Amino acid sequence: MSVMYVGEALVLEGNDLPNVAHIDLVIGPKDGPVGEAFANALARQSQGHTNLLAVISPNIPAKPATVMITKVTLKGSKQVMQMFGPAQAAVARAVVDSVVEGVIPKDKAEEWCIVCGVFIDPNANDNKKIYKNNYEATKLAIRRALQQKPTIDEIIAQKETKHPFE
């Protein structure tokens, strides 16, 4: 049976909405549904939605291999550079640090892959905050995915919680 873990995290400091990070991801074996989604994400590009591998720096990719999916249409070079710069480095380092810390088992680094949806607000204006927030959100989403958190009981107990963007 194939395994697919699902994680989500939002990181926002105070009311700094333009630099919010919201990560949705799936992680699992390359020979399962996550691997299929990974390959499709790289093979099926569209204007304004350039999917890219998460790399720490050129020629140093994250392991497990991670493809970043843009959750909004990228409009203009500033937003593209934020995705290909601080967001890309943050996601890659968060993945590798999750291996180092034992959240992702090291023996799965070659067997698994990650599909990671990344949100970059068109009004984002601080590359350091983009990096920090996406790093924290990616680590949290991975941890939640692999710990299968929150549980259904935790969700039911908090179902009346107000969404911050309501």
Single out the catalytic residue among 9, 11, 22, 37.
Answer: 22
Tokens describing residue 115: 């599909």
Task: Report residue 45: phi and psi, to 5°.
Answer: -100, 155
User: Are the C-beta atoms of 3 and 26 separated by less than 8 Å?
Assistant: no
Regarding beta strands 112-118 and 21-29, do their DSSP bridges make them parallel or antiparallel, or are they unpaired?
A: antiparallel
Whether 22 is catalytic: yes
DSSP for the chain?
----EEEEEEE--TT-GGG-EEEEEEEEETTSHHHHHHHHHHH--BTTB--EE-EEETTEE-SSEEEEEESS---SHHHHHHIIIIIHHHHHHHHHHHHHTTSS-GGGTTTEEEEEEE---TT---HHHHHHHHHHHHHHHHHHHHTT-S-HHHHHHTTTPPPTT-
Tell me which residues are annotated as active site. Answer: 22
